[in-house]
Structure 1
Amino acid sequence: MQYGSFPFYRPRRMRATEVARQLIRETELSERDFIYPVFVRPGKGERREVPSMPGVFQLSVDLLAAEMKELLRLGVRAVLLFGLPEHKDECGSEAYSDEGIVQHAVRAIRAQAPDMYVITDVCMCEYTSHGHCGKLTDAGEVDNDATLEWLAAEAVSHARAGAHMVAPSDMMDGRVRHLRAALDAEGFTHVPIMSYSTKYASGFYGPFRDAAESAPSFGDRRAYQMDPANAAEGVREAALDIAEGADVVMVKPALSYLDVLHRVKSEFAFPTVAYNVSGEYAMVKAAAQNGWIDEQRVVLELLTSMKRAGADMIITYHAKDAARWLRERGRA
């Protein structure tokens, strides 16, 4: 805009004070946006820090009540549970056992922290002895259709334990439709599905595999997770899962796929979650511990970028710190 030879519109006018900046702020980040991942392990009094993820712990079920209390105090109202089983086998039997670690955790949280919204990860990689996300064929490949039965049994078991929402992360074709049918058949029509719809075969998952003790014993997961080069395919994956009955779709990881996140949200205007994954968290923590970045500023900037790109919810290991910083900023 020009007025004569002088700029008619000066954007700096509305950047001059904090109040002015807040008045025109397009994206607001809130602790209500966050879902906090929690790793549950066997035993009692167990609180083991994940070496590659400073500040993130594996917790035994008896310590969950205190963890939930802290999260709720900070305004974080939803958790995503991952389980480390007592034992692993070829068929991942503890994943769908009503006495499995996640099932015990769900019941404990529902009893001790009824205000917490409990989401459970539905996959096989943490429970199988080979570390892959489903049943193997004789050739050592994951059998897509046979795996669906295991995933359905796991989702129903989680719902029976009291999970508010189930989140299949396996990337098997057709699993959302299969889980929806199984949940409905068992009377769990009220339990929504958060689908890991657009999940890439990423190098950013390394620290998570330490935390969940779920690294594959051979090969990798590129035969079922997505090629990082493909964006249109990610949109198609979200479309398929929505058609199959997903209530929420996901883009994972977040930072390297903000373009895909924006496309998914723009295309479908559907509830969408970004997963701020372990490698993203670990990089920020390492840089902050070396004094190379301002951790608070960088974390809030990164989380804001995810929401700006289209995320309605953000799964993040930064949730507790970010919630604390946002509250402090609000009181300032």
Structure 2
Amino acid sequence: MNTFYRGRRLRRNQALRTLMQDVSLSSNDLIMPYFVADVAEKEFYKPINSMPGQAQYSIHSLLKRVEKAVKAGLKACILFGIPSTKDSCGSQGWLETGIVQRAVKALKSEFPNLIVVTDVCLCEYTAHGHCGVLSPNGEVLNDPTLELLSKVALSHAIAGADIVAPSDMMDGRVAAIRHALDQQGFENLAIMSYAVKYASSFYGPFREAAESAPQSGDRKSYQMDFANSSQALLEAEADVNEGADILMVKPIGAYLDILRLLHDNFSLPLAAYQVSGEYSMIKAAAEKGWINEEAVILESLIGIKRAGASLILNYFTEELLLKGLVK
């Protein structure tokens, strides 16, 4: 008579292992980030050195890139804009003719079934690189920034975005954006809030990709301290109460415990952002031959799903779809 657990019975071949999986990964789980630049050159494609395989695109080049991904099964993307000019308040961020606004219109015209998410922030558009309005002494001013973020979100909604995603970490921004959208008849437009966004060193390559590095100081006064978990619940609860439809944790690799914390305390769908630094580290290790790239990508994403994510924003999405590793 057996007196011990024989777990190997359900792991002895691939068919059994697949049948027994608690979670799985599909194209419905993944959101691909794209960087679109306001340039005159039609075929513009600028590789991002710190993110092998990623680039800035003109709208024309973006459409060609997305077409291949959609044919491979891409369901959703998120857009980050690189404007032609910047100023102290980020005014390019809410122009009807802004780069993200034009890109949204083009994508929705060509691929009406593609879910287009837009990042709502000012850091890509301000000359100082911060996510809000600066005081004369360099402090990021919370409440004056809310009006500008609402204008950005509304301009994205008018352009045809399916979801707006505020990433700035200003207090009260979800309520301000929800009010602005509802007032203009966009009450059915979803908000995916970067509810728990940490001041992280893993964002390094993104600064190059989005050309959004702060010109002075850092973002620790408004992004979360990575030593704190209790504040994550407070931030998420505030966004739920203000009208968020989806909550996001960013970054995710070092914060799976935070994702599980939100999963256990809230009923909204959860998104997780596997950020640029996480992507670049996997790519660098794979280039050195130290890891099996495809295996590590899948393991990391399954781990994020297992921790509670409904959606994963990550730069591997295209690659996984084009190679048929995810259906």
Q: 1:10 aligns with which of 1, 6, 10?
A: 6
Percent identity over paired residues: 50
Q: Which amino acid aligns with 1:269?
A: S
User: Structure 1, residues 24-67: CA drift from partner, whole Å, max 9, x if none?
Assistant: 11011112110000000022211111000000010001112212
Hey, what's the Cα distance between the residues in 2 that align with 1:261 and 1:71?
Answer: 28
Please report the RMSD computed on the Cα atoms of aligned residues, expressed in angstroms.
1.1
* Map 1:268-283 → 2, pairs under 5 A: 268-283=266-281
2:199–2:223 CA contact under 8 A, matched in 1: yes
Matched, 1:176 2:199: no
Q: 2:108 aligns with which of 107, 110, 117?
A: 110
Matched, 1:32 2:2: no
2:26–2:326 CA contact under 8 A, matched in 1: no
1:40–1:60 CA contact under 8 A, matched in 2: yes
**3-state SS, counterpart of residue 126 of structure 2:** coil
1:85–1:101 CA contact under 8 A, matched in 2: yes
2:69–2:322 CA contact under 8 A, matched in 1: no
Q: CA deviation at 1:8?
A: 4.2
4+ runs deviating over 2 angstroms = 6-9, 322-325, 327-330
Q: CA deviation at 1:139?
A: 1.5
In the other structure, the counterpart of 2:195 is 197
Distance 1:329 1:48, change over 3 A: closer
Q: Which amino acid aligns with 1:145?
A: D
* Map 1:140-179 → 2, pairs under 5 A: 140-179=138-177
Q: Which amino acid aligns with 2:128?
A: H
Q: Which amino acid aligns with 2:120?
A: V
Hey, what's the Cα distance between the residues in 2 that align with 1:292 and 1:88?
Answer: 41
1:125–1:214 CA contact under 8 A, matched in 2: yes
Which sections of structure 2, spanning at least 5 residues, go unmatched? none
Hey, what's the Cα distance between the residues in 2 that align with 1:76 and 1:264?
Answer: 27
Q: 2:63 aligns with which of 62, 65, 69?
A: 65
Q: CA deviation at 1:7?
A: 3.3
Q: Which amino acid aligns with 2:177?
A: L
2:320–2:326 CA contact under 8 A, matched in 1: no
Q: CA deviation at 1:238?
A: 0.7
Hey, what's the Cα distance between the residues in 2 that align with 1:53 and 1:31?
Answer: 22
**3-state SS, counterpart of residue 46 of structure 2:** strand
Matched, 1:186 2:184: yes
Q: 2:221 aligns with which of 218, 223, 232?
A: 223
Hey, what's the Cα distance between the residues in 2 that align with 1:272 and 1:286?
Answer: 28
Hey, what's the Cα distance between the residues in 2 that align with 1:65 and 1:129?
Answer: 28
* Map 1:55-134 → 2, pairs under 5 A: 55-134=53-132
2:246–2:271 CA contact under 8 A, matched in 1: yes
Hey, what's the Cα distance between the residues in 2 that align with 1:229 and 1:313?
Answer: 24
Q: 2:240 aligns with which of 239, 242, 252?
A: 242
In the other structure, the counterpart of 2:15 is 19
When the two structures are aligned, how many residues end up with a matched partner?
A: 325
Which sections of structure 1, spanning at least 5 residues, go unmatched? none
Hey, what's the Cα distance between the residues in 2 that align with 1:117 and 1:299?
Answer: 23
Of 231-240 and 169-178, more deviation after overlay is shown by 231-240
Q: Which amino acid aligns with 2:79?
A: L
Hey, what's the Cα distance between the residues in 2 that align with 1:80 and 1:249?
Answer: 15
In the other structure, the counterpart of 1:318 is 316
Q: Which amino acid aligns with 1:65?
A: L
Of 279-288 and 232-241, more deviation after overlay is shown by 232-241
Please report the TM-score for the alignment, with normalisation by the length of structure 1. 0.96
